A and B are shown apart, each in its own frame.
Chain A
């Protein structure tokens, strides 16, 4: 079973509503990632944290998405307002150092359906 904890596992929301996802990485892992995966495609990086700092959010749609990792441990990803095109799997991952020797460990993901 995945050691990165994510919740909820499934979320159905209506268009224009707000939705939030939570992630608790493996203990001691400094780097935390949020990915979005559309069916049939590979995961796309939304935001990467090193401790509490954002190191890459170039692909995050900042007009509607926000992410925080206030104490450098768990993290929240929020979408407001949700759009139909946001339906996807949202994956959280962590790595020990965020460098080339640290593979990613994924949580089970949150499957979002926007109606």
Chain B
């Protein structure tokens, strides 16, 4: 089993739709969680950190469920520019090893 698992998609949604991605992690001692966005053939860029109480940044909401060991990303009112791959990132204690999921591809259509 991979340490960080994501649904690869692709998710094809129309503009204005709400879409949600989940990511599960296997190490219960994982300390920190992030969502990164990666455009085609570009480097990953930090989208948002994920806090225990959940957090929101504009149209993006991130949630953490430690009991079930998953994090989620919700995108409201999807824009064409949201089309990208969304990478779930988990930071483990003991060396602070940063582990990436394989990513979930999102296509937003007009």
Binding site for B on A (CB under 8 A): 2, 31, 33, 35, 40-45, 48, 55-56, 91, 98-101, 103-109, 111
Contact = CB atoms under 8 A, between A and B. Distances in A.
Contacts, number: 55
Contact of A45 (B31, B98, B102): B98
Contact of A91 (B4, B43, B93, B95): B43
Contact of B87 (A42, A100, A111): A42
A56 B100 CA distance: 15
A56 B97 contact: yes
Nearest to A99: B96
Interface stretch (B44-52, B53-61, B72-80): B44-52
Interface of B: 4, 6, 8, 31-32, 34, 41-46, 49, 87, 89, 91, 93, 95-103
A99 B99 CA distance: 13
Given A43-B87, A104-B46, 13 more contacts: A2-B43, A31-B96, A35-B100, A40-B8, A41-B103, A45-B97, A45-B99, A48-B95, A55-B95, A91-B43, A100-B31, A103-B49, A105-B46
A111 to B, nearest CB: 8
A5 to B, nearest CB: 12
A100 B32 contact: yes
Contact of A109 (B43, B49, B100, B103): B43
A10 B85 CA distance: 22
Contacts of B46: 103-105
Given A55-B95, A100-B91, A107 B43 contact: yes
Nearest to B45: A106
* Closest 5 pairs (CB-CB, A-B): A42-B100, A100-B32, A106-B43, A100-B31, A42-B102
Contacts of A56: 95, 97
Contacts of A111: 41
Contacts of B41: 111
10 contacts: A31-B96, A40-B8, A42-B101, A45-B99, A48-B97, A100-B32, A103-B46, A104-B98, A108-B42, A108-B43
